[in-house]
Structure 1
Amino acid sequence: MENQELPPAYEQALAGFGRYLEAERARSAHTRRAYLSDLRSLLEYAVSEGLTDLPGLDLTTLRGWLGAQSQAGMSRSTLARRSATARSFTTWALREEIITVDPALRLRAPKAEKSLPGVLQSQQLVRLLTGLEQAAAEGSPIPVRNRAIVEVLYATGLRVGELAGLDVDDLNPDRRTLRVVGKGNKERTVPYGVPAAVAVDDWLRRGRPSLANGHSGPALFLGSRGNRVDQRQVRTVVKDLFEALGDTSATGPHALRHSAATHLLDGGADLRAVQEILGHSSLATTQIYTHVSVERLRKSYQQAHPRA
């Protein structure tokens, strides 16, 4: 669908808000696109309601916009994000003196539903990783890389963007840790285990040199043409592996992040340690995984309850 033409002042505000998200909020390109799409939707709605200047934006308009989205079938999580976009925009616009009153101070939206993340069972992971090891043994660089990617994703719980952004120098092989730059350009150190270390070492010795060229730079993981691997490539690799695995609802790299978090908690890891590993700014986000750790709950019950 083509974008509706907006008044020049609206287009200028849209561009300015985009620059703000990139420069001051350090938002990822994916997040910026989502926020700017949300804001364009709001401004198009305002125009349809006869509002042609931003100082006239009020709470009634914001609520009407969200109401229209709800009637169109938007999910609660999307409505929550769009409400957050509106609040972020009006806060910025007030600071920039584009508006004189913040109309979103009393704006509320449904809380996003906390869905239970998809998790791979231990036996599924064994099958997946064993198959990758066997494929890598043949020596072709792409299977060697794919094995290392999956081992690292599961060992560390990294987001796919964080993995794609890794450089060779981010590895500390002696301590088996990674330096990771996460959301908001926040840096953290994440440990990884022996299987991931073996897979990464194999990639650095046998796989990466076969693909590296003048365009590779410091990137840890490379695509078939020698450039830094991108998020789309990683998602495609993992999606294809899951489809070949069968008997799983997992569809992408985030399932490996969910699995890592859940299995850490199942093994007795401290919730705050898992929060640090995953790079969550809020402990509440990490707590979602406690709801899927049924095995940990069952074991605790059996160990503690006298009538278990």
Structure 2
Amino acid sequence: MDTLHPDLDAYLATLNGVSANTRRARRADLAGMIRWWEDVHDLAFDPALLAERDVRAYLQRRQVDDGAAPASINRALSTGGRCWAWLVRTGRARENPFAAVGAVPQDPPAPRKLDPGAIDALLRAASDEPDLTLRRCNEALLSLLIYAGLRSQEAADVQMRDLDLDGRTVTVRAGKAGKFGRVPLHADAVRLLRRYLTEVRYPDGMPAPGSPAERELLLGVVESTRPGRPFRAGVSTRTIRHRFTVIATRAAAQLRAAAQKEPRMDKAARLLEAADDLVTASPHALRHSLAYRLLDDGTSLAAVQRIMRHSRGEQTLRYATPNERDLKDVIDRSGGV
């Protein structure tokens, strides 16, 4: 069972007359938010530090990234609102950060995506890294996020034995909700991963089948603060987010520079839009982008569901719903009167 802050345990202790299931559900709601907050802020959770912007960011993550049902999200909002109202009444918090956050509409927004130009800019920015080892590490990371649609934790957990480059698959041993799955790899991903393995991980030859080295984590980091900048296997989700941000920032700068040289105003505007999308994107946007690309290429919903490893068809259907950018593009292509 997750350990909560003492003030939250004190609140749960006041819930007299509720069923055991309700008590467990409310505890799980609070525990999930705490784990997210501590992961984002890299701090021990303190109820007094939770702000309204945190609540809204958590809502966005649950709604768009996790694909949680509106009823589940609204229950979590209700739990948080009741808890912090009690914390304010008992002098444990000054404000209720849930008070101004409304319930989630029953029709969730379409997931956020990056257009192909932004994806291409990411790959180009990764290849521009002057340090060869870091360049190959970044390319290997992006190959799993862009072409296989892996979540950050899934990418961090991939072991050497999970990668089958000849068969063009990667195995996810513990995906969302602990699900096992095998994901097909695009030929470009195979090329980037093979180059990473031969130039960084195993320049003297791949490990023998069944050897302990096959259980080593695939991705790793360059320890830039140590002499010689050695490579170390294993990477955290926080490091993945940081590396993505560095690459995305570089890619956005390159797109803005290209926009300044572009004579056509419409193309320049598209480049600037892609740059803006990159600086506010997260690694999970690459997973969303893969699903959109598959559907745009005419892939069936059933096939997309299998590739994305969605447990419910409703999760896949979200990608068939046009977002605001899609609708604007339709209007732009319609031309003037």
Under TM normalisation by the shorter chain, which class is it?
0.5 to 0.7
Contact 2:154 2:175 in 1 (8 A): yes
Q: Does 1:274 align with 2:304?
A: yes
Q: Aligned-pair distance for 1:32? A: 7.7
Residue in 1 that maps onto 2:95? none
Match of 1:238 in 2: 244
Does the 8 A contact of 1:220 with 1:228 survive in 2? yes
> Matched residues in 2 for 1:182 and 1:85: separation?
26
Give the conservation status (yes or no) of the 8 Å contact 2:59–2:73.
no
Q: What runs of 5+ residues in structure 1 fail to find an aligned partner?
A: 22-28, 37-43, 45-68, 88-108, 303-308
SS of equivalent to 1:284: helix
| Distance in 2, Cα, partners of 1:253 & 1:182 | 16
Following TM superposition, by how much is the alpha carbon of 1:292 offset from its aligned partner in structure 2, in angstroms?
Answer: 3.2
* Mean CA deviation greater in 273-282 or 159-168: 273-282
Is the Cα–Cα contact under 8 Å of residues 139 and 206 in structure 1 kept in the other structure? Answer: no
Residues of 2 paired with 1:286 and 1:124: CA distance?
22
Q: How many angstroms does 1:236 deviate by?
A: 1.0
1:41 corresponds to: none
Q: What amino acid is the match of 1:252?
A: S
What is the identity, as a one-letter code, of the residue corresponding to 1:143? Answer: R
Cα offset, 1:201, TM superposition = 0.9
- Corresponding residue to 1:115 among 109, 114, 130: 109
User: Does 1:200 pair with 2:206?
Assistant: no
Once the 2 structures are TM-superposed, how far is the Cα of residue 117 of structure 1 from its aligned partner?
2.4
Question: Which of residues 217, 220, 230 in structure 2 aligns to 1:219?
Answer: 217
Q: How many residues align?
A: 228
The residue type equivalent to 2:287 in the other structure is R
CA contact (8 A) 2:160 2:214 kept: no
Task: Provide the C-alpha distance between the structure 2 equivalents of 1:279 and 1:133, rounded to a whole number of angstroms.
Answer: 29
Which whole-Å deviations, capped at 9, do the CAs of 1:91-142 have from their partners, x for residues lacking one?
Answer: xxxxxxxxxxxxxxxxxx755652232322222222321332343xx56211
The 5 A counterparts of 1:65-214 are 80-81=72-73, 83=75, 110-111=104-105, 114-135=108-129, 140-180=132-172, 181-209=174-202
Instruction: State the distance in 2 between where 1:190 and 1:5 align.
Output: 40
Question: Is 2:276 the counterpart of 1:248?
Answer: yes
- TM-score, with normalisation over the residues of structure 1? 0.61
Asked whether the equivalents of residues 177 and 192 of structure 1 are also in contact (C-alpha less than 8 Å), the reply is yes
The one-letter amino acid paired with 1:244 is R
- Extract unaligned runs of 5+ from structure 2: 15-19, 39-46, 64-69, 80-102, 204-211, 224-231, 253-274
Query: Offset of 1:243 from its aligned partner?
Result: 1.8
SS in 2 for 1:235: helix
CA distance in 1, matches of 2:171, 2:33: 22
Listed one character per residue, the Cα deviations across residues 222-265 of structure 1 (whole Å, up to 9, x for unaligned) are 12241411111111111222222222324211111111110110
Aligned mates of 1:129, 1:4 — CA distance in 2:
46
- Alignment match, 2:209: none
Q: 2:289 aligns with which of 259, 262, 286?
A: 259
Secondary structure at the aligned position of 2:277 is classed as: coil
For 2:219, what is the secondary structure of its paired residue?
coil
- Tell me by how many angstroms 1:148 deviates: 1.3
CA distance in 2, matches of 1:9, 1:128: 46
SS at match of 1:248: helix
Alpha-carbon distance change, 282 to 233 in structure 1, aligned in 2, over 3 angstroms:
same
Which amino acid is the alignment partner of residue 255 of structure 1? Answer: A
- 1:288 Cα offset (Å): 1.0
* Aligned Cα root-mean-square deviation (Å): 4.2
1:10 Cα deviation from its structure 2 partner: 3.4
What letter is aligned with 1:121?
D
The residue number in structure 2 matching 1:99 is none
1:49 is aligned to none
Contact kept, 8 Å, 2:126 with 2:247, in 1: the verdict is: no
Q: Is the 8 A contact 1:208 1:222 kept in 2?
A: no
SS in 1 for 2:222: coil
Deviations 1:39-96 (A, max 9, x none): xxxxx9xxxxxxxxxxxxxxxxxxxxxxxx9xx9896959842616989xxxxxxxxx
TM-score, normalised via structure 2 length: 0.56
Query: Equivalent residue of 2:144, what SS?
Result: helix
Q: 1:227 to 1:172 in 2, by over 3 A?
A: closer
Task: Give the letter for the 2:235 counterpart.
Answer: V
